[in-house]
Amino acid sequence: MPSYVITGVARGIGYEFVRQLSQDPRNTVIGVVRDKQQTIKKVSEDATLKGRSNIHILEADLTSYEAVKRVAGEAAKITGGSVDYLIGNAGYISQFDAYEPIGVLGNEPQKLEEELAKLINIHVVANIHLINAFIPQILKGHAKKVIVLSSGFADLDLTNKFDLNLSSLYSISKAASNMAVAKFSAQYKTDGVLFLSITPGMVEVGHYVNSTPEQLQKLGSGLGKFAEYAPNFTGPISPEEAVKLVRSVWEKASIENGSGGDFLSQFGNKQWL
């Protein structure tokens, strides 16, 4: 009976993780959100999920160590003290850096500092707290897998080859997250814990629905570079497809085959689209 703890399950990819993983009644699925009551209401009104007793929703501000520590204790009471899979999915997409390069962002230095600090807190500090709080339970689990959702924007070679200059602060935070995951792997690999950073690909979750025509034009220039990078790329995939791909990657990966600490795409390699 595998147990899963997933952060950021209120919507999008996180919600889809809960939907797919809870299909098997033998799985224990624990979702962590900022607003427990709202998410419980959403699940209770979902025709597919409302009857699934293996779904548990807990509440925590993941940037607070004390809150994460508390939620780890609550999860232990549900699972009996062990967790098989820990999935750091919670994230933040900044609209501030989505359409302009880093040099232009520098014209608003205070806003730049605020947004970068928020991204680092959510993508790096929060995941470090999460892993530290749950590692005793992971060590007692059977699967011993820790997955943190990343982004192809964090890839240095891709950025340099195609001069990708948008989403710079987001990219910086995800690259730092990848290193944190690798450092945890370096510490716990000998204990049999597999740490992975996996990208879900470009997923349609409505981040840019309120973009202005000018912003969309700037975004389009970046998408043009994606087409050059991946000629067969046809656009964002659904959360359902993304989750299936990410799950396939973590199920195939192992310490024995050299995957510990890796940064992989949804295809299990370095092809980001």
Q: Which of these, 167, 200, 176, 240, lies nearest to 15 by C-alpha position?
A: 240
CA distance 49 to 42: 9
If phi over 0 gives left and psi between -120 and 50 gives alpha, with beta otherwise, what is residue 170?
alpha
Which residues, at least 6 apart from 170, have a Cβ–Cβ distance to it below 8 Å? 93, 94, 97, 98, 119, 151, 153
CA distance 10 to 215: 27
Positions annotated as catalytic residues are: 170, 174
Q: What is the CA radius of gyration of the chain?
A: 18
Nearest 5 degrees, angle CA 172-CA 187-CA 126?
A: 40
105's tokens: 């962002």
**CB contact at 8 A, 199 and 150:** yes
Total residues found in the chain within this entry: 273
CA distance 122 to 191: 27
Which residues, at least 6 apart from 161, have a Cβ–Cβ distance to it below 8 Å? 229
CA distance 242 to 150: 13
CA distance 197 to 147: 6
